[in-house]
Structure 1
Amino acid sequence: MSNIVRDSDVNELVGSPYFNYGAKVRARRLVRNDGTYAGKEIGELLVKKGEVGYVVSIGTFLQQFYIYGVEFLESGNRVGMKRRELELADALGDDEDLPLPQELDA
């Protein structure tokens, strides 16, 4: 008997991946090493909640979920994450406070 517990009856693979290669994403939760990240101790922090990264690979897990390989900028770690663990980072939100070119001349 298998000890694998599926998160839901939903199969994401019937549709296209939610995120594309190069998409700017933000971690929705803190991620620690569960023992599958080489070179880090079990329980060591890999990604902080809110940390921004970019999707560099897309794979699958349990023939049910897309797994997005995300390169996080602050930590420098590349971590595989599910859709529910990520959200799109507002590309414009980071630049909202920058002045427009015509405002610089005034």
Structure 2
Amino acid sequence: MSNIVRDSDVVELNDPPYFSYGEKVRARRTIRNDGTYAGKEIGDVLARKGELGYVVSIGTFLQQFYIYGVEFTESGNRVGMKRKELEPVVSRDDIDIPLPE
């Protein structure tokens, strides 16, 4: 019998996605192929730490996490990533949100 290992007890799906479509993001760590990326060998680098990309899709995994499809500009790879593996390029504090009148 196999057990599914969850990263935490937090269910991200209780809240809206952290990142938005088209948002520019940065990889927080190097991502390697775990065997799920077609056309690449297991262990091949898909995105390097610090590489920039854009969120092109938002899906879910294990009814717990959002998975952000990120198109990385340098490598050209589209990689599914969790929130903890990404950081926004523009600080959330720097975004001007218009106040209701």
Q: Which TM bucket (shorter chain)?
A: 0.7 to 0.9
Tell me the amino acid that sits aligned with residue 8 of structure 1. S
What residue is the counterpart of 1:28 in the other structure? 28
> Offset at 1:90?
2.5
What residue is the counterpart of 1:88 in the other structure? 88
Gaps of 5+ in 1: 92-106
User: Tell me, what secondary structure is at the counterpart of 1:10?
Assistant: coil
Q: TM-score scaled to structure 2, two decimals? A: 0.87
Tell me the amino acid that sits aligned with residue 53 of structure 1. G
User: Tell me, what secondary structure is at the counterpart of 1:70?
Assistant: strand
Q: TM-score scaled to structure 1, two decimals? A: 0.83
Tell me the amino acid that sits aligned with residue 67 of structure 1. I
CA distance in 1, matches of 2:45, 2:73: 14
User: Tell me, what secondary structure is at the counterpart of 1:87?
Assistant: strand
Which runs of 4 or more aligned residues in structure 1 lie more than 4 Å from their structure 2 counterparts after TM superposition? Answer: none
User: Tell me, what secondary structure is at the counterpart of 1:84?
Assistant: helix
What residue is the counterpart of 2:39 in the other structure? 39
Bigger fraction of residues in helix:
1
Computing the radius of gyration from Cα coordinates, the structure with the larger value is 1
Paired residue total = 91
> Offset at 1:4?
1.1
Percent of pairs with identical residues = 79
1:47-95 per-position Cα deviation (integer Å, ceiling 9, x unaligned)? 000000000000000000000000000000000000000000138xxxx
Gaps of 5+ in 2: 92-101
User: Tell me, what secondary structure is at the counterpart of 2:25?
Assistant: strand
